Amino acid sequence: MARLKGKNKIRDLLSGYSFMAPTIIILGCFLLLPIGYAIYLSFHKVNLLGTVSYKFTGTANFERMVDDPRLWIALRNTVKYALIVVPAQTILSLVLASILNMKLRYRNFFRVAFYLPTVTSSAVLVLIFMWIYNSNGLLNYILESFGLPTYNWLGDPSVALLGIMIMNIWSTAPLFMVIYLAALQDIPENLYEAADIDGANGWQKFWRITVPQLKPVTFYVVVMGIIGTFQLFDQSYIFSAGSGGPNNATLTMVLLIYQYAFKSMDMGYASALAFLLAVVIMLITLIQRLIFKEERLN
């Protein structure tokens, strides 16, 4: 009897793993192997031109980061970008969701209209905003119409990154708005009814009921926002034609990795930078988990 049970258990395990095998193989080939290969490259000097060769250099690629001024510029730009974009898009998405959760006329139309920037191609959005920011573009045309001085929005290093920030806040906030809107509809109405009986006003209900109830969702939104901002690439690439200009003002971590990997063909150092970026994102996520200690719903 015991032997029969053992055979049945083994057969059940084999059946389970056979069903999981396609997913395990796909994840292994397209996720685990590339991660392992990137870590392997980060400890080597790689030559991909002519005869492919790998020369083990130990921690030389990581030591090189200390004396790389462009790395610190890219890291500073990325952190600055995240510190402004993530809070702005989180607050804006929460405000929009709260407004659209009210019993407004044509609210379904506004929900669809506000969500449209999210489904638009990122490259198309960048081209539209480049036309707006252009010296002869829409923004300067409006300023000139009111008799105000025009500005070189794309050529000034002090405002070039800000232009990308505004575009990303406008295009990503609607996605998180939908997430907040779904969470708002799950908050029990009796909490607000009890608050009405206690004489709470609208702001008190929002701050004392809505915000705490949305804490798990806010944790998710902030985490995804930070991951997205630290992976900024396509907007910065198109804005600066791949240079990170003007004067490295739009140079981000991922764009720097791209330049080292595919322009300088320095795959080893680019892999080390990618490993550094992954570590930074994981550390930030762990810190956020400590801040949002009650991110799980009861």
Q: What is the pLDDT of residue 116?
A: 84
Question: Which of 105-114, 185-194, 277-286 shows the lowest mean pLDDT across its residues?
Answer: 105-114
Structure tokens at 288: 């956020």
82 and 211 part of one domain: yes
Q: What is the pLDDT of residue 186?
A: 87
Is the pTM higher than 0.95? The answer reads no
53 and 103 part of one domain: no
Quickly list DSSP for 168-198.
Answer: HHHHHHHHHHHHHHHHHTTS-HHHHHHHHHT
Chain centroid offset of residue 176 CA: 12
* Nearest-angstrom CA–CA distance, 183 and 219: 13
Q: How many helices and strands, by DSSP H and E, does the chain display?
A: 15, 2
Q: Return the residue matching tokens 């002869």.
A: 136
75 and 208 part of one domain: yes
pLDDT at 154 over 50: yes
Q: What is the pLDDT of residue 295?
A: 46
Residue 51 CB neighbour total at 10 angstroms: 6
Query: What is the residue-averaged pLDDT of the chain?
Result: 87
183 and 243 part of one domain: yes
45: β partners: 55
The stretch 132-142 carries a mean pLDDT of: 87
44: β partners: 56
* Nearest-angstrom CA–CA distance, 32 and 23: 12
2 confidence band (pLDDT: 50, 70, 90): low
Residue 247 CB neighbour total at 10 angstroms: 14
Quickly list DSSP for 14-64.
Answer: HHHHHHHHHHHHHHIIIIIHHHHHHHHHTTEEEE-SSS-EEEE-TTHHHHH
Residue 191 lies in a domain: yes
Residue 16 lies in a domain: yes
Residue 7, C-beta contacts closer than 8 angstroms, at least 6 positions apart? none
143 and 89 part of one domain: yes
Residue 282 lies in a domain: yes
Structure tokens at 219: 């944790």
Q: How many domains does the chain divide into? A: 2
pLDDT digits (tens, 9 = 90+) for 36-55: 999 999 999 988 777 778 88
Q: What percent of the chain has pLDDT over 70?
A: 96
Residue type, 227: I
Residue 139 lies in a domain: yes
27 and 147 part of one domain: no
* Nearest-angstrom CA–CA distance, 14 and 191: 50
61 confidence band (pLDDT: 50, 70, 90): very high
Mutual angle of helices 69-100 and 107-119, in 10-degree steps: 160
* Nearest-angstrom CA–CA distance, 63 and 294: 39
Residue type, 283: L
139 and 272 part of one domain: yes
239 and 169 part of one domain: yes
Structure tokens at 254: 């991922």
Q: What is the pLDDT of residue 6?
A: 65
pLDDT digits (tens, 9 = 90+) for 93-118: 999 998 888 877 887 888 888 888 88
Q: What is the pLDDT of residue 40?
A: 92
Q: What is the pLDDT of residue 101?
A: 86
Residue 298 lies in a domain: no
Residue 213 lies in a domain: yes
200 and 107 part of one domain: yes
Q: What is the pLDDT of residue 298?
A: 43
111 and 240 part of one domain: yes
247: which DSSP letter? T
pLDDT at 81 over 50: yes
pLDDT at 229 over 60: yes
Domain of residue 148, residue span? 68-291
pLDDT at 294 over 80: no
- 74 or 105, greater pLDDT: 74
66: which DSSP letter? G
Structure tokens at 61: 């690629």
The stretch 160-184 carries a mean pLDDT of: 91
Find the CATH number of the domain harbouring 178: 1.10.3720.10
The stretch 20-29 carries a mean pLDDT of: 89
The stretch 275-294 carries a mean pLDDT of: 84
* Nearest-angstrom CA–CA distance, 100 and 97: 5
Q: What is the pLDDT of residue 293?
A: 67
The stretch 133-157 carries a mean pLDDT of: 86
